[in-house]
Structure 1
Amino acid sequence: MRIHTFTNTPTMPVEVTERSLSELTDAMQYTGFQGRKLAESVKAWENMFKEEGVTIFMGLSGAMVPAGMRNIITYLIENRLIDCLVSTGANIFHDCHEALGLRHYVGSHIADDCELLGHGIDRIYDVFAYEEEFRNTDHFVANFTRKHDGKTYSSREFIRLLGKEISEKGNRNSIIVSAYKHNVPIFIPALSDSSIGIGLTIARRNGYNINIDQIKDVDEITQMVEASEKTGVVYVGGGVPKNFIQQTEVVASIMGHDVAGHEYAIQYTTDAPHWGGLSGCTFDEAVSWGKISREAKKVQVFVDATIALPIVAHALNEKTKDHKRKAPCFEWNRDGIELCFKTS
């Protein structure tokens, strides 16, 4: 048989047998299409986790919390598989909602939406929730604002305070509570575009106001990149969280720092690159902007994240549970940012 450099590694059919999820994803590395890409993403994330000096950023978009991915993100935080979370405001609002003892419900995508409206039920594809309960959470945020009237915070500072507030109410099963307890910063660069923004608006109408300084957000997250030896990114979907993390490399470069772009890059998305949108654009395209390193380990998986995340998280749990990582910890003070490492 003729052997060529292009054909050194044959594909291998996946055998049906008793095995762990990480053993399955290992086997999938020798298949094709998005199955192989999913397996490659597990390997890249494992390598990123085990390499010393790498700060791991996650961008979270899409309705992941209502769709049941909340505890997976909490697991990633608590086990320091990520060091910073950049999220839509909606995901963090829904996390607060559940942390306060309220729920989302299994529904149907073919429900009669006019009938749902009559019953005060909101629909997120095939997930239901009560509008009145959402409004109760809006008012919880508004009432929380009263304690900090007149203050200016970055979204990171504000969400940390909100996580502390919820932790004191006894509910620890939460993304923002876990982030607060494990000192993992959460940024929400489009905070006003969410029900958290609605809560802040209610407070403002009632005479209480917090100023969320989103430019401070840009500065703070860029300081994290500037202080890090290497950086890696994991994107669930795209949108604002993706670009907010991507642009840190550009900002750091403009500020005179010698940065080469993020050195690991993983994305789970259902968007395609040929529409020109950021959510589907390739990491190769990002290289042209200096946002991703030329030598970066890049894996994009075109898949529904609600399929990918449970598989990937369980495989990573098996692959990393015995590894003691020195996770980066960031502290902001009057003189800027300080970086230290603590074993996770």
Structure 2
Amino acid sequence: MDIITSEPLIVNGIQLQPLEPLDLGKYRTVSQVVQGMEQSSFGARCLGEVTSTLETMICEKKKPLLVYDGKREIPLGQALQRMVEKGWFSKVILPEEYAAHEPLGGNVIVVGPFSERHEDAIFTKPDRALFINNQDKAKPGQIKDGYYPDAVFSHPDFVIPVIEAALQERVEGQETKVYELLRRLETAGEHTHQAAHGAYILNKMLHDPACSVIMTISGAMTIAQLSLCISDMVRIPNGVKAIASTGALMAHGLAQGLDLRHYKYDPRLTDEVLLAHGLNRVTDTLEPETNFDQIDDAMRHALKTFNGERPIASWEVNRAIGQFLHDHHPGSERAILRAAYDRGVAVYVPAFVDSELGNDVNVHNREIEKSAGRPIIVNTELDTLHLMDLVVNSEKIGIFTLGGGVPRNWPQNIAPYITLRNKRLGEDIPERKFSYGTRICPDAPKYGHLSGCTYREGGSWGKMDLEKGQFAEVLFDATLIFPFYVKYVMDFNERKAV
């Protein structure tokens, strides 16, 4: 699917820039991936934009200052000092030193947390301040709903090595491949070690010939412009064998499959103005209502293939959409549902009614009722039976999760489901526990919800093989980490083929 950048959308005299799905096939290096992230959404866009801002700053005569309250001897402190030695930054200074001794003006990059005792100075003294931390700390008024300039709200142990690799290429011409970045992350701190470990576990399960990998996705990963990354997980050799997703993800991804656009939100436009112009906001990204009109048209064609004589599964609806793209949109090979259709990969939506797709089926049935036709019944029990067939016919199963929610738990629940059938119905269905798992989600277990649930906790329910299994918990924003994982797997396959 070739994405051609369209003209800006003008609303009330304000130009809204079209975004572009992140196409990892175009990029070879960390710097190039980060540059592509500028046209995506959420944390990935923040990382891309801050990196480009830093590139400009360090090329100016007056170098920016690093404010950091951490230990100088740990990997993060050493990375900051390296960037000073390269001449990119003037020095690394403690927050209290900055507050007490530094003059007004200049550019400052504040890395990690800082005490409220020094906030006034950090917020008022610089001409411009960039913030990199996982506490959502920035200058009052700098951050607004859907607008996150000059900040990356993720752990600096990960963000700084990525930025260092990108700047090293842009300023010094020294390229860093993703596998090289992951090697550095192994020793850059506890969190980053787990990030590297997660990539290795994902690659291992994909290349285990006995293992069927199920990918689960929640959150706004397609409107985040990562639909091609998801499609690549289907299209690569030894790709995932099934996907469990929210319906919203597939709807937004279908918009991109139809070569429609999303746009960068401008905070000068209120949500009331957006509503009046038919622009639906998802955090920092806009989905035109006209996109859904074309999605509805695609759904109408797909639903015509069902006569209502029997209940159908959600994966059958998605397969029909994939076939529609195959038959009517020949340039859509990299659309998620088209790629899944071409490769026989089932895409399940276990909470089908909670989505635009569910709305479309419901409205379709109301239309059918007017002509005394048979409504289409989507029975998600059929999805469970279909997934069970995949599981029991696989020697091993692995799970790769972005986020949490129903898409995560529904596939994990297949092991207790089989156990329950065997116990209550006296059946002899082969039981399976997950042998591999990589989860990318920033949520911690302390909140008590499923998104933060650890694999060990899942093991207490009989879902995970805690004795022999290999698992990684990666507590980061998936929009930041996921593209590097996909690129790592793609590059691994290329290196293996040489």
TM-score (norm 2): 0.60
Alignment partner, residue 338 of structure 2: 177
Q: 1:271 to 1:263 in 2, by over 3 A?
A: same
Q: Tell me the CA shift for residue 272 of structure 1.
A: 1.6
- Determine the C-alpha separation between the residues in 1 that align with 2:317 and 2:209: 30
**Alignment equivalent of 1:250, drawn from 407, 416, 421:** 416
Query: Is residue 296 of structure 1 aligned with residue 469 of structure 2?
Result: yes
Q: Tell me the CA shift for residue 179 of structure 1.
A: 0.5
Cα root mean square deviation, aligned: 2.1
- Identify which range, 106-115 or 48-57, moves more after superposition: 106-115
- Determine the C-alpha separation between the residues in 1 that align with 2:75 and 2:442: 25
Alignment partner, residue 239 of structure 1: 405
Q: 1:309 to 1:172 in 2, by over 3 A?
A: same
- Determine the C-alpha separation between the residues in 2 that align with 1:211 and 1:264: 34
Q: Tell me the CA shift for residue 258 of structure 1.
A: 4.5
Structure 1 letter corresponding to 2:429: H
Query: Is residue 265 of structure 1 aligned with residue 437 of structure 2?
Result: yes
Q: Which runs of 5+ in 2 are unaligned?
A: 1-73, 83-164, 166-173, 423-427
Identity of aligned pairs, percent?
26
Query: Is residue 94 of structure 1 aligned with residue 252 of structure 2?
Result: yes
- Determine the C-alpha separation between the residues in 2 that align with 1:309 and 1:268: 8
Query: Is residue 81 of structure 1 aligned with residue 239 of structure 2?
Result: yes
Structure 1 letter corresponding to 2:391: V
Q: Tell me the CA shift for residue 298 of structure 1.
A: 1.1
Query: Is residue 148 of structure 1 aligned with residue 296 of structure 2?
Result: no
Deviations 1:93-149 (A, max 9, x none): 112222223221122467411111121111000111112331342343135323323
Q: Tell me the CA shift for residue 197 of structure 1.
A: 0.8
Q: 1:110 to 1:250 in 2, by over 3 A?
A: farther
Q: 1:97 to 1:253 in 2, by over 3 A?
A: same
**Alignment equivalent of 2:183, drawn from 23, 26, 37:** 26
Alignment partner, residue 490 of structure 2: 317
Alignment partner, residue 194 of structure 1: 355
Alignment partner, residue 118 of structure 1: 276
Contact conserved, 1:26 with 1:39, CA < 8 A, in 2? yes
Q: 1:147 to 1:229 in 2, by over 3 A?
A: closer
Q: Secondary structure at the match of 1:55?
A: strand
Contact conserved, 2:183 with 2:196, CA < 8 A, in 1? yes
Aligned runs of 1:42-57 on 2, under 5 Å?
42-57=199-214
- Determine the C-alpha separation between the residues in 2 that align with 1:229 and 1:39: 26
Q: Tell me the CA shift for residue 260 of structure 1.
A: 4.9
**How many residues in Structure 1 have an aligned counterpart in Structure 2?**
315
Query: Is residue 40 of structure 1 aligned with residue 213 of structure 2?
Result: no
Query: Is residue 134 of structure 1 aligned with residue 292 of structure 2?
Result: yes
Structure 2 letter corresponding to 1:202: V
Alignment partner, residue 220 of structure 1: 386
- Identify which range, 91-100 or 242-251, moves more after superposition: 91-100
Q: Secondary structure at the match of 2:460?
A: helix
Aligned runs of 1:57-72 on 2, under 5 Å?
57-72=214-229
Q: 1:219 to 1:262 in 2, by over 3 A?
A: same
Q: 1:51 to 1:143 in 2, by over 3 A?
A: closer
Contact conserved, 1:109 with 1:125, CA < 8 A, in 2? no
Alignment partner, residue 330 of structure 1: none
Alignment partner, residue 277 of structure 1: 449
- Determine the C-alpha separation between the residues in 1 that align with 2:386 and 2:204: 26
Structure 1 letter corresponding to 2:259: G
- Determine the C-alpha separation between the residues in 2 that align with 1:144 and 1:109: 37
Q: Which runs of 5+ in 1 are unaligned?
A: 1-9, 325-344
Q: Which runs of 4+ in 1 moved over 6 A?
A: 10-15
- Determine the C-alpha separation between the residues in 2 that align with 1:129 and 1:213: 29
Q: Tell me the CA shift for residue 45 of structure 1.
A: 1.2
Specify the structure having the higher radius of gyration (Cα).
Answer: 2
- Determine the C-alpha separation between the residues in 1 that align with 2:190 and 2:271: 37
**Alignment equivalent of 2:317, drawn from 144, 149, 158:** 158
More strand by share: 1
Q: Tell me the CA shift for residue 175 of structure 1.
A: 0.3
Deviations 1:22-73 (A, max 9, x none): 1110221122132211111111112112222000000011111010110001
